[in-house]
Structure 1
Amino acid sequence: MQIKDFKNIYFVGIGGIGMSAIARYFHSIGKNVFGYDRTSTKLTSELKEEGLRITFEDDLDTIPTEFMNKENTLVVFTPAIPKDHQQLSYFRLNNFTIMKRSQVLGLLSDNLNGVGIAGTHGKTTVSTITAHIFKTSALGCNAFLGGISRNYQSNLLLSKDSPWVILEADEFDRSFLQLHPKIALITSMDADHLDIYGDKSELEKSFCEFASQIKTDGILVHKKGLTLPAEGISTYSYSLQEEADFYAKNLNLLEGFYEFDLIHPEGVIERLRFSYPGKINVENAIAASSVALLSGVNEEELRLALSGFEGVRRRFDYQIRQKHIVFIDDYAHHPKELKESISSVRAIYPQKKITGIFQPHLYTRTRDFVDGFAKSLNLLDEVILLDIYPARELPIEGVNSNLILDKIEVPAQLCAKEELLNILKDKDLEVLLTLGAGDIDKMVEPIKEMLIEKY
């Protein structure tokens, strides 16, 4: 059977950012969609408002009767689901058709002009900028994104007419090896997910394999300095300001936003204004622009799209932007991402005190990068550390947030999440950052309300 032959689609982990985009897609084409997730979130609430049905109990009794028919039910799951999950175990024992999210994404995109955007950092922002450029141009696009676009308030973009699909190509669990894009962009190959890969060399091999899966006569775009295979395809490099096929000159910070000239193989596009703050996001915009120009987007379309880009939820996401208090929420959860995020904030607010609240994500990542985390957090003026968010992992003896705290040189303290608001109330804050990929996002609204009341 092909996907089109299934009437019912059951999602185990429907609240995941990648899973929810596919669930939205199937719902949009009239499939009967139901899903499980562990906890209610802003995203699951939005899915329910759109008409998707969700249970938060791992119980066979919560599976609707029609989804018990294995002949017309496809089960989609995320690798983050634990192996002892009751519902997923039931589907496996009863020989349902079961596919990983990445396999479904591969099948949905194979017959389109896929643009696969990969990298250990930046892929969500780059893919969302790319999708916005394509969507506002004559090319149009479909897109399955790993973040919520502020322009469209969704992680799914659909077009009946466009042959293009923008895909966030995730290296976790080697998921991106299910994709065969026409164009691939790789932002970075830094060590991460070492619980999956073991070491950096294995991760790099996986990225090389992804690059080798680009369709014949396709295009590879990569951050300058990365070494990747390029047989039978065209290859281009990009960078922020270092000379490459695509890079910026005359970079200027004007009222919190950057203006720059984009150097590209055909010439120069002068005075592009990017309406999304942070120097790292200029680099992300150059990456997205390179793919767009190589695909046929013209200069005026690019200029209009970059000036109108509104950002991504939880990516350098301004919550409050006032003279006396600034509050930014960011998904940064790797030492390099923390460094880029904090440095970008420092460039905009060089004279202000910057306080960061960081929630480490995963015991293994904390163990593997403790020195890097401390070094990046030392770029702040003050640090508040929360406990490690375990996600899919069980605790590791001796691994906790104190490992990072002991290496931080600026004023720092460890704080239980339930005590955070009380601690913040007593602080003299100027610029506040919430940082991390766990459930720290649930604190954003309460912090925002407290700050508005205080200031």
Structure 2
Amino acid sequence: MKGRAELQRVRRAYFIGIGGIGMSALARYFRERGVDVAGYDRHRSVLTQSLEKEGMLVSYDDDARSVPEVYREKNVATLVVYTPAVGADDALMRYFREGGHALHKRSEVLGWITEGYETYAVAGTHGKTTTASMLAYALGGTVGCSAFLGGVSKNFGTNWVSGGNEGGLLVVEADEYDRSFLNLRPTLPLVTSVAPDHLDYYGTFAAVQEAFREYAKRSRSGRLVCQYGVRDYFEGLGLDLITYGVEELCAMYVAREVRYVDGRSHFTVEAPGGKSQEVTLGVVGRHNVENCLAVLAMCDYAGVSLERASSLMPDFKGVARRFSLEYSGKRYSYVDDYAHHPDEIRATLSAARDMFPGKHITAVFQPHLYSRTRDLADGFASALSGFDSVLLLPIYAAREAPLPGVSSEMIIRRMPEAVWKAMVTPSTLMDTLRGMPTEVLITLGAGDIGELSSSIARDLERWEGNDGK
């Protein structure tokens, strides 16, 4: 319990990359505990401004002189936390390292915190943020829990949920990037999906699979909840597998008779012991039905009955940038989504076809990372080809430098000629859209494309007003 001892001594915490979704949740956790919090981020955002309003000091200058003097002191009361999204050669990283400070990765600190809780961890190459948020909502509304989320929950309005239950239930999103989730020792781990991703770090899909197996083996209970289709990855580990799936006859938790009405999902759950329950879920899509099954399975383990957990599902509102309906008018509908992997794009399209049958759907996709675009270009081209028309923005680099020959055009060149497609920039996007037969617009990506959502919604509303005159 060395980590817990370290936490007890912390009186101030400095976050390098405080504006990240995982870092900001940690910052909020420490602030709530009475710790003084400050940090640096490259860009001012809605999230960093919220942190400032909550009493945290945020700088957008990586000059060491921007660090408040009290945080420069090297002592056990000062914790310095960084995110892997910030390079090792960043000016502040060098400053603290050369000053003799111990720098701790975000996942390491999260691991320390979880030592003191009964932790339910949600992992998966996609689906984990919505599932973790749904689980926190279900447990929070029944037995109580705290939660570190990888997105802003629409039900809670935040990414850190305080249940005031130190030592009780804690929901965490377990990030597979750079094997971060191996810092956790969850009571009950969950795996929603396993797919090739982060190959810039792992190198091969086999290495990704092995990391997920190592994560599963860290289960304190000897149990693992997993989507039925990925169960084979975890056979032979000596774990009790609790499986779920839509229309998966051999899964333990099965959804049947799935249908979508008025922006909601309706289905029947069959669970162990011959239990059956009608469920209405406040969000649409087959992937969200699967997410809900995972939540019901974990609630069952926590002692929350199927009936009680299901009763909360109609009021689940989802997560910001996860199939978020930003505008709905007579002519146009607009959805913003975080999808940045081919499987996620397919899931988003499937949900859109269910919600908007027969409509012309246009995707605007901003690829995230040069390495991911290079490694998954064929998959992106295949997934995007399911839309009626596609617009691509330049790649969002995030932590990476450009790679020779890698661009959004790689994806366009791999798409069938029959699919209407074009390159755009943020400044030309709306002019291009104005001349298209779009009825449903979906923006996709994990970069800064989400920052365009408000202006896009305003433009669509204005177009409807002008067209109606």
* Same fold flag (TM > 0.5): yes
> Which deviations, in whole Å up to 9, do the C-alpha atoms of 1:306-352 show, x marking residues without a partner?
11101100001110123321100000000111111112101221210
**Residue in 1 that maps onto 2:361:** 354
**Residue in 2 that maps onto 1:128:** 133
2:35 aligned with 1:31, yes or no? Answer: yes
> Which deviations, in whole Å up to 9, do the C-alpha atoms of 1:144-169 show, x marking residues without a partner?
00010000100111122361000100
**Residue in 2 that maps onto 1:241:** 247
Q: Give the whole-Å Cα distance in 2 for the aligned partners of 1:237 and 1:178.
A: 24
What is the CA-CA distance between 1:241 and the residue it aligns to? 1.5
Superposition pairs for residues 335-346 of structure 1, below 5 Å?
335-346=342-353
AA of the residue aligned to 1:157: V
2:393 aligned with 1:383, yes or no? Answer: no
TM-score (norm 1): 0.97
397-406 or 157-166: which moved more? Answer: 157-166
Q: Give the whole-Å Cα distance in 1 for the aligned partners of 2:260 and 2:67.
A: 53
What is the CA-CA distance between 1:47 and the residue it aligns to? 1.3
**Residue in 2 that maps onto 1:433:** 442
Q: Give the whole-Å Cα distance in 2 for the aligned partners of 1:46 and 1:423.
A: 34
2:10 aligned with 1:10, yes or no? Answer: no
Q: Give the whole-Å Cα distance in 1 for the aligned partners of 2:71 and 2:382.
A: 50
What is the CA-CA distance between 1:290 and the residue it aligns to? 1.0
**Residue in 1 that maps onto 2:422:** 413
2:283 aligned with 1:279, yes or no? Answer: no
Runs of 4+ aligned residues of structure 1 deviating over 3 Å after TM superposition are 229-233, 425-428
CA contact (8 A) 2:282 2:314 kept: yes
The alignment's C-alpha RMSD in Å is 1.3
What is the CA-CA distance between 1:387 and the residue it aligns to? 0.3
Which residue, 150, 160, 176 being the options, matches 1:146? 150
CA contact (8 A) 1:184 1:219 kept: yes
CA contact (8 A) 2:263 2:282 kept: no
CA contact (8 A) 1:212 1:230 kept: no
Q: Give the whole-Å Cα distance in 1 for the aligned partners of 2:153 and 2:298.
A: 18
Superposition pairs for residues 237-316 of structure 1, below 5 Å?
237-243=243-249, 244-316=251-323
Q: Give the whole-Å Cα distance in 1 for the aligned partners of 2:301 and 2:79.
A: 37
How many residues end up aligned between the 2 structures?
A: 453
174-183 or 318-327: which moved more? Answer: 318-327
CA contact (8 A) 2:74 2:100 kept: yes
Q: Give the whole-Å Cα distance in 2 for the aligned partners of 1:401 and 1:235.
A: 40
CA contact (8 A) 2:360 2:437 kept: no
CA contact (8 A) 1:208 1:229 kept: no
Q: Give the whole-Å Cα distance in 2 for the aligned partners of 1:196 and 1:266.
A: 43
Return 5+ residue gaps in structure 1 as ranges. Answer: none
Residues 12, 230 of structure 1: alpha-carbon distance in 2 compared, 3 angstrom cutoff: farther
Residues 323, 290 of structure 1: alpha-carbon distance in 2 compared, 3 angstrom cutoff: farther
CA contact (8 A) 1:211 1:229 kept: no
CA contact (8 A) 1:73 1:97 kept: no
Which residue, 184, 188, 193 being the options, matches 1:183? 188
CA contact (8 A) 1:273 1:306 kept: yes
Q: Give the whole-Å Cα distance in 1 for the aligned partners of 2:261 and 2:341.
A: 29
Secondary structure (helix, strand or coil) at the match of 1:406 reads: helix
2:119 aligned with 1:110, yes or no? Answer: no
Q: Give the whole-Å Cα distance in 2 for the aligned partners of 1:18 and 1:89.
A: 22
What is the CA-CA distance between 1:406 and the residue it aligns to? 1.1
CA contact (8 A) 2:136 2:145 kept: yes
CA contact (8 A) 1:220 1:230 kept: no
Which residue, 205, 209, 216 being the options, matches 1:211? 216
Q: Give the whole-Å Cα distance in 2 for the aligned partners of 1:395 and 1:20.
A: 27
What is the CA-CA distance between 1:88 and the residue it aligns to? 1.1
Return 5+ residue gaps in structure 2 as ranges. Answer: 465-469
Secondary structure (helix, strand or coil) at the match of 1:250 reads: strand
Residues 22, 230 of structure 1: alpha-carbon distance in 2 compared, 3 angstrom cutoff: farther
Secondary structure (helix, strand or coil) at the match of 2:229 reads: coil
Superposition pairs for residues 50-129 of structure 1, below 5 Å?
50-71=54-75, 72-129=77-134
What is the CA-CA distance between 1:229 and the residue it aligns to? 5.1
Secondary structure (helix, strand or coil) at the match of 2:295 reads: helix
Q: Give the whole-Å Cα distance in 2 for the aligned partners of 1:147 and 1:324.
A: 30
